[in-house]
Chain A
Amino acid sequence: MRRSSVSIVLALVCVALELGAIEAADPPSLTVFAAADLTFAFKELAPRFEKATGARVTLVFGSTGNFAQQIRQGGPADVFFAADQSFVDALSAEGVLLPETRTLYAQGRIVLATAKAFGPKLTDLRSLLNPQVRHVAIANPVHAPYGRAAEQALRKAGLWEALRPKLVFGENIRHTLQFVQTGAAEAGIVALSVANVPEVEWVTIDAASHAPLDQAAAVVRKSPRPELGLAFIQFVNGPEGRQIMKRYGFMLPGEF
């Protein structure tokens, strides 16, 4: 009994340690932490960068706020594409990002999105007051940049207080879009960059109705390959990259 009990414990120790054997696939040469709204554009763009440079790119999509925390704690990113420049500026000030690599890559636009399942496309923010629109999805204005812009636009139109009971908050802009895509919310305010999906119709909202959504990227100071990271940022803003970015609604001033 004594021997078998010892062997059970030893077996458990072995299994627990087995993890040391998990081999990561060959180390990616460039890891990009990118805001969730860049998913579609970067999935198209990254293979072209790989082809042009021969480098391998690992794309990680998620919430800008989470990424900021992770990069602060040594997260293995080489480049950070934030949905809001304030995060890039804060991390640069802390010395986590290389300030000289900071680059504006887009100014975000918001659109009024209607679920096709709901019916006729809404063309005016005021039509959200229509009682048939029971839920209006926006990104959480407390931490999501597009949510903040949506709140500003609704306030400017004098609709914020009246619409408040109908609002549902998405965690990020893709999540917000899903509320509309599934028809769970009849309408919503989402980013132009994610709005081109079959289940949704949209019209742009005047850019003057909210503070500019400046989106910036920068290279991480800890990155062992800063030149490659900078090359990726330059590729995004280069002729080939801009063409894709524009198609997904990531415009720079002068491109609107």
Chain B
Amino acid sequence: MDSFPIWLSLRVALSATALTLLTGVPTAWLLARKRFSGRNLLEAVVVLPLVLPPTVLGYYLLLVIGYRGPVGRGLAAMGLELAFTPGAAVLAAWIGSIALVIKSAQAGFETVDGQLEQAARTLGRSEWSVFWSVTLPLAWRAVLAGTVLAFCRALGEFGITLMVAGNIPGRTQTLPLAIYDRVQANQMGEANALALVAVGIVVVLLFGLSRLARLRY
């Protein structure tokens, strides 16, 4: 069995989850704590990836990052290429999964008592420090739950990836694409083996995390 799709998928899902945390947690915090113009619009935009069918989303994304797209042309001017690379698979997984972190973390942050944060401020803590020592520890389980969902979604991402990364064996063929490809080619044995690996990864991960979730921040 070709193990490339397994390693590629693990790395893509990990990278996408890290990216999701870096971008999703601050966005969730903004939505939970700040009132600004365009807030409602932002709240609607972040859930769009869950509403649009992935292949449709992938098609629009391809128009943007492709060779003739505005971003694609900009990257090409710098000698970079994103479409049809593993990086595009990360982008696809990130877009597909970010809403899960944002909505979950936002709900977590909203349940944190603002007076506790206020108390920390009166004690001279900076906003950065208040977030890390008060807000995040109290909302940590919600953030973790969102992260787990996001990782699983990233690992299973199919439609967007198919469009923007292609389904190129040995280069951008992730685990879900490889399974699909084997089914299409009537190689059910390999398809089943790969599907079993995908299920195994998620079971091990969820088991580990359920232990982690019992820990305190």
- Chain A residues with a Cβ under 8 A of chain B: 1-2, 5, 9, 12-13, 15-20, 22, 24-25, 28, 31, 36, 39-40, 43, 58-62, 66, 69-70, 72-76, 174-175, 178, 197
Write out the residue numbers on chain A whose beta carbons fall within 8 Å of the beta carbon of B11: 18-19, 22
Q: Which residues does B use to contact A, with CB under 8 Å?
A: 4, 8, 11-12, 14-15, 17-19, 21-22, 59, 62-63, 66-69, 72, 81, 83-84, 86-87, 90, 128-129, 132-133, 162-163, 166-171, 181, 183-186
Q: Which of B15, B22, B59, B170 is the one whose CB lies under 8 Å from A25?
A: B170
Q: Which 7 A-B pairs give the minimum distances between C-beta atoms?
A: A74-B67, A73-B66, A15-B18, A5-B132, A16-B18, A25-B170, A19-B15
Partner of B170, one of A28, A66, A74: A28
* Chain B residues positioned under 8 Å from A36 (CB to CB): 184
- What chain A residues lie within 8 Å of B90 (beta carbons)? 16, 19
Q: Are B133 and A1 neighbours in the complex by a CB distance under 8 Å?
A: yes
Shortest distance from the beta carbon of A7 to any chain B beta carbon, whole Å: 11
A97 to B136, CA, bound (A): 54
Residue pair B170, A16 in contact (C-beta under 8 Å): no
Q: State A9–B171 Cα separation when bound (angstroms).
A: 29
CB contacts (< 8 Å) of A20 on chain B: these are 87
Q: Which of chain A's residues have a CB closer than 8 A to the CB of B181?
A: 61
9 contacts between A and B (CB under 8 A): A1-B133, A12-B18, A15-B15, A20-B87, A22-B8, A24-B86, A25-B170, A62-B167, A76-B166
**Using Cβ atoms and an 8 Å threshold, which residues of chain A touch B69?**
73
**B contact face: mostly helix, strand, loop, or mixed:** helix
Say whether A58 contacts B170, CB under 8 Å: yes
Q: How far is the CB of B180 from chain A (nearest CB, A)?
A: 9
Residue of A nearest to B126 (CB): A2
Bound together, the chains give a CA A143 to CA B143 distance in angstroms of 43
On chain B, the residues within 8 Å of A175 by CB distance are 184
Roughly how many angstroms separate A24 CA and B59 CA in the complex, as a whole number?
24
One of B8, B18, B66, B186 near A74 (C-beta < 8 A)? B66
Q: How far is the CA of A123 from the CA of B9 in the complex (A)?
A: 46
Distance of A69 Cα from B171 Cα, bound (Å): 19
Do A69 and B167 touch across chains, with their CB atoms under 8 A apart? Answer: no
| Chain B neighbourhood of A22, CB < 8 A | 8, 11, 86
Docked-complex contact B22 and A16, CB < 8 angstroms: yes
CA distance A28 to B81 in the complex (A): 17
Contact B63 A73 (CB under 8 A): yes
Asked if B185 and A43 make an inter-chain contact with CB atoms under 8 angstroms apart, the answer reads: yes
Q: Which residues of A contact B167 (CB under 8 A)?
A: 60-62
Given contacts A18-B14, A74-B72, contact A60 B169 (CB under 8 A): yes
Our pick among B87, B133, B184 for the contact of A174 (Cβ within 8 Å) is B184
C-alpha spacing A31/B14, complex, angstroms = 28
Q: Which residues of A contact B129 (CB under 8 A)?
A: 1-2
CB < 8 Å neighbour of A19 from B22, B63, B86, B132: B86
Check if B184 sits within 8 Å of A25, measured CB to CB: no
What residues of chain A lie closer than 8 Å to B22, measured between beta carbons? 9, 12-13, 16
Are B184 and A66 in touch, CB under 8 angstroms? Answer: no
Query: Please, how many angstroms separate the alpha-carbon atoms of A60 and B181 in the complex?
Result: 9
